[in-house]
Amino acid sequence: MKTKTATWAIALASLMGASLLFAGPLDKAWMKGTTDKNPLLYKPGEDMVFTIEPQNIRGEIPAGAYFLKWERTGDDGVSEKGSEPFTGKPFVYKTRIAKPGFVRLNAVVVDASGKPFMRQLEKFTGDPNTPEGRLALRKLKKMKRFVFFDGGAAAGADTLRQAAPEPADFDAFWARQKAELKKVPFNAKRVEVPCGNPDVRLYALSVDCTGGMPVTGYLSVPKAAEKGKKYGIHIGTFGYGVGEQFPPRRPDANAIEFKMNAHGFLLREFGGTDEYYRTYGDKIKSNGYTYAFDPQQNSNPETAYFRGMILRLIRAIQYLKSCPEWDGKDLQVSGNSQGGGFAIWGAGCGEGVTRVYSTVTGFCDMGAELAGRLRGPWPRIKFVKALGYFDAVNFAKRVPSTCRVEIGRAGLGDYTCQPSSIAILWNTLKCPKSILWVQGSEHGYVPPNYEGRDIKFER
């Protein structure tokens, strides 16, 4: 009997097989955007010149069939919009911003009725009945099908600072939390699970923590450690969301790795069930808000969901440092989006992290609305003063010079974790650091021309 997912995949494959026979001139097209100088190095009041060049057009574009609909917004509150006939030729747009901040330029190809053009989907060739196949299907459904550009530029980016002041008792608050955590013994539970790397032992791990939920995730340890070899630690964290965590397929044999979820929910090995994972997201809602979004819950730092997330990260670091397999030197944290915020929390929490890799970093400049800076359209975490205890920028101030922070991708079109917040993070860090800005990149989208050589700064 076919599953619902399998039926959807078969239908989609059939549809695409037919539709690709009639592919039009824009079905492989995408937009490349550039500026007349490094987009991070403009000065307030200086002209910014954008050029948007259509790429990979195949064939003639019918006259009058398509238009380029564009909109300029920015941290200055200025908005301009317009529409131009789309002929496949470059579109040049000039603007400026009078004060330090970012300008965003968004442009999309639409048809004569104003509806965005949608490229044909690629053919799905995976197995929708496997975890990997289901993940591939989800990515396919979410794939950007518009022909668009979403990017920007900044003036005075190096002068930007966070909007909300740091709580005066920030250090005292976290000292109290860590003192409470210290009262809780590790009480770690390990269950060995099958591993795809014959040189590694893989465990489901649960470690007791304050706040009602344990630390949970999958820990991998190279087998050579059983003969006395020591290894560095790498903690990997995840983006925003709730769902069952699966064991990594092939862990690294050159490091102790811990794949940690944000919530401390039960793994399968400790009693997690389909029903448990299906309903867990609803159980951690507060006043109808998804986790960490409730302003009432966030108004008290002792009840904010972020408190438990950070304490679980600290407990994970402390536990892993106690493991005899650790080399006593290398301690890395990495993550994407929410996980990127985790990585900065880890670097600044005082537990000796030596390296951080953070992409499209979340939870920076959480009071951005106080400065009127541009933010994205999806529901944001409403700022209340207590969020200052969890702002990644305040943790960034405490990252020691012994830690290196790599901001692996910062999208100039990312208005989930907006560019101004990443620039403020960069400005705040005083440790060895690097950042890679990517023009035309949104939170989950990287343009086809991205090859890791975009706009990089290193200090």
Are 138 and 188 in a shared domain? Answer: no
Question: Contact, 310 vs 215, CB < 8 A?
Answer: no
Asked, for residue 166, whether it belongs to a domain, the answer is no
Are 123 and 196 in a shared domain? Answer: no
Mean pLDDT of the chain: 90
Mean pLDDT of 272-285: 96
Asked, for residue 146, whether it belongs to a domain, the answer is yes
Give pLDDT, residue 375.
81
Domain-ending residue, one of 102, 133, 157 = 157
Residue 10: pLDDT band (50, 70, 90) is very low
Are 390 and 249 in a shared domain? Answer: yes
Give pLDDT, residue 28.
87
Contacts of 160 (CB under 8 A, 6+ apart): 100, 101, 420, 423, 424, 427
Domain-ending residue, one of 157, 190, 223 = 157
> In this structure, what CATH number is given to the domain that contains residue 243?
3.40.50.1820
* Phi, psi torsion values for 57, nearest 5 degrees: -80, 135
Are 194 and 148 in a shared domain? Answer: no
Asked, for residue 165, whether it belongs to a domain, the answer is no
Give pLDDT, residue 301.
98
Which tops the pLDDT comparison, 25 or 330?
A: 330
Express each pLDDT in 89-118 by its tens digit. Answer: 999 999 999 999 999 999 999 999 999 998
Are 194 and 322 in a shared domain? Answer: yes
Express each pLDDT in 219-264 by its tens digit. Answer: 999 999 999 999 999 999 999 999 999 999 999 999 999 999 999 9
Domain-ending residue, one of 157, 187, 219 = 157
Asked, for residue 164, whether it belongs to a domain, the answer is no
Give pLDDT, residue 18.
34
Q: In what order do the strands lie in the sheet with 148-155?
A: 80-85, 66-74, 101-111, 148-155
Give pLDDT, residue 20.
38
Residue 37: pLDDT band (50, 70, 90) is very high
User: What torsion do the CA atoms of 96, 359, 318, 291 make, to the nearest 10 degrees?
Assistant: 80
Report how far residue 8's alpha carbon sits from residue 237's, in angstroms, rounded to the nearest whole number. 31
Residue 127: pLDDT band (50, 70, 90) is low
Domain containing 124 equals 4-157
> In this structure, what CATH number is given to the domain that contains residue 126?
2.60.40.3880
Residue 141: pLDDT band (50, 70, 90) is low
Q: In what order do the strands lie in the sheet with 200-207?
A: 189-193, 200-207, 215-222, 256-260, 231-236, 326-336, 355-359, 404-411, 433-438, 455-458
Are 24 and 71 in a shared domain? Answer: yes
